[in-house]
Structure 1
Amino acid sequence: MKQNPSLIALVTGATDGIGKETARQLAEKGVAVIIGARNLEKGQSVVAEFKAMGLDVETVQLDITDEVSVEQAAQTVDARYGRLDILVNNAGMSVDRGPLSELPVQDLIALFETNVFGTFRTTQRFLPLIRRSGHGRIVNVTSSLGSLWTMTDETSPYYQVSLPSYAASKAVLNVLTVQLARELKESGIKVNAVEPGLTATRYITMPGAQPVEVGAEASVHYALIGDDGPTGGFFDRHGPYKW
């Protein structure tokens, strides 16, 4: 990486899918990107692939469910750069395999450990580094399924989609986004939630799913908004999304 990059971004869960594409698009825009990789070998493979494209990237081992891993990753970024300008909380999971009434509580705990507690843990630990940036940006990758409108309005496009525990975790993340944005408003740090849309990944092969290049657009856009940009909002690539 460049010694004094103008912008430094960390993307969690960035070894494949939307996270990997978000990292690529940010790097193409001149951002020095750190690939957050639970599996360091996979992270190094992505770095080699991107460097062959001439992109400015590196990786750090980061398992957001592991407090020690998060702490060590933050220390590494602090030692190398002393700040972080952009945090894209992309890492997430889904465990829904049937009705909510039959979901093992252990599955719900594991889901929240990643989608909620892991994201919060990472944000909280990296926040001191983000405060040192003159233009800190936090992007939480949530989902339209976490929208109360989507869950309750029969005219919404995803009303019939039933992933209840995943939806609950993303609804919680939306609330945390709003509350953190309110807390940090006077600091100039922008905190927003983004909905990628139905995107084709190794987990999603549904007809009509958009390519990852499209799915990453909202994350990249709100990672790079100016000081006059919004905070505490919920957006897809077209603009504001209904809560």
Structure 2
Amino acid sequence: MTTTLITGGNKGLGRETARRLVALGHTVYIGARDETRGRAAADQTGAHLLVMDVTEDASVAAAAALLAEHETQLDLLINNAGVFDAMVKAEDATAEDMRAVYDVNVFGVVRATHAFLPLLQASSDPAIINVASGLGSFGIVTDPGRFEAQWALPVYASSKAAVGMLTVQYAKALPGIRINAADPGPTATDFTNNQAAQSIAEGTEAIIGLATAGPGAPTGTYMDRFGEIPW
């Protein structure tokens, strides 16, 4: 049975991913900083709760230690926790705006990867999925035919571009672990005020595809629900 941890798993894409993976037979842990919301999501999806705040080193380390008390290994880490920047304009963006978003979207990935790496390395088939965004793809945001190209979002987009580079670098440095990035696409969640045309189930397709790829699948790729996309 595959043991999976999803950070930011108490709502949106994280909760739907948890629900789908539980249905596929995974033992799923939801990482959530709010215990009440996390407990409700865990109960709704059939997952287990792991209270953790990806912006705090001590919180993530404590969560990893707690998981190690219950599981001998972690097969799949899905770095899903993320925040949006309320579409801060380039002329208004400050270093503090950057710091707040990067602390979750980028440093949170590093904290979780570092803390759970020993449990991942204990697995016979470990994998990491970093939830990125088409807004962080240089190829997509410079393509005038793409929806994402119409936005100038230096804070959020650059944070997701950093997630892409982390994915590539971790994949090179840790060849024993499949490490890939997933672009959910514009999905109807809190991030989009539920306005995007794509359903939340469709938004999890890339994540589920990578989560169920199995031994021998590629590492260091960037996927949406239709296939590989440009960095």
- The TM-score bracket by the shorter chain reads over 0.9
Could you tell me how far 1:82 is from its partner in structure 2? 1.8
Aligned to 1:24, the other structure's residue is in SS state helix
Q: In the TM superposition, what is the alpha-carbon distance from 1:206 to its structure 2 partner?
A: 5.9
Cα deviation for residue 47 of structure 1 reads 2.0
The equivalent residue for 1:210 is 198
CA distance, structure 1, for counterparts of residue 19 and residue 152 of structure 2 = 31
In structure 2, do the counterparts of structure 1 residues 164 and 206 end up closer, same or farther at CA, with 3 Å as the change threshold? farther
The alignment status of 1:71 with 2:66, answered yes or no, reads no
The one of 15, 19, 36 equivalent to 1:41 is 36
1:27-65: CA deviations, max 9, x gaps?
000000001111011111112223xxxx3x210101100
* Structure 1 unaligned blocks of 5 or more: 1-5
- Structure 1 position 210, deviation (Å): 1.2
Gap change, CA 1:206 and 1:162, over 3 Å in 2:
farther
Match for 1:32: what amino acid? T
2:184 aligns with: 196
The CA distance in 2 between the partners of 1:101 and 1:47, in whole Å, is 41
Say if 2:3 is the partner of 1:8.
yes
Structure 2 counterpart of 1:156 = 146
Aligned pair partner of 1:131 in 121, 142, 149: 121
Partner of 1:3 in structure 2?
none
Task: Name the residue aligned to 1:18.
Answer: 13
Q: How big is each residue's C-alpha offset from its partner over 1:105-142, in whole Å with a ceiling of 9 and x where there is no partner? A: 21111111111011111111101100000110100000
Q: Distance in 2 between matches of 1:41 and 1:88?
A: 21
Cα distance in 2, alignment partners of residues 208 and 126 from structure 1: 33
The yes-or-no answer on 1:219 pairing with 2:207 is yes
Displacement of 1:207 after TM fit?
Answer: 4.5
CA–CA separation in structure 2 for the residues paired with 1:84 and 1:221: 18
Distance 1:106 1:81 in 2: 38
8 Å CA contact 1:149–1:156 kept in 2: the answer is no
Ranges in structure 2 where 5+ consecutive residues have no aligned partner: none
2:30 partner SS: strand
Alignment partner of 1:231 out of 205, 219, 222? 219
Q: After superposition, where does 1:137-176 map in structure 2 within 5 Å?
A: 137-176=127-166
What CA distance in whole angstroms lies between the structure 1 residues aligned with 2:141 and 2:205? 24
Q: CA RMSD in A?
A: 1.3
| One-letter code aligned to 1:236 | D
Deviations 1:82-105 (A, max 9, x none): 210000000001114432121122
Instruction: Count residues with an aligned counterpart.
Output: 231
TM-score w.r.t. length of structure 2? 0.96
| Counterpart selection for 2:228 from 206, 215, 240 | 240
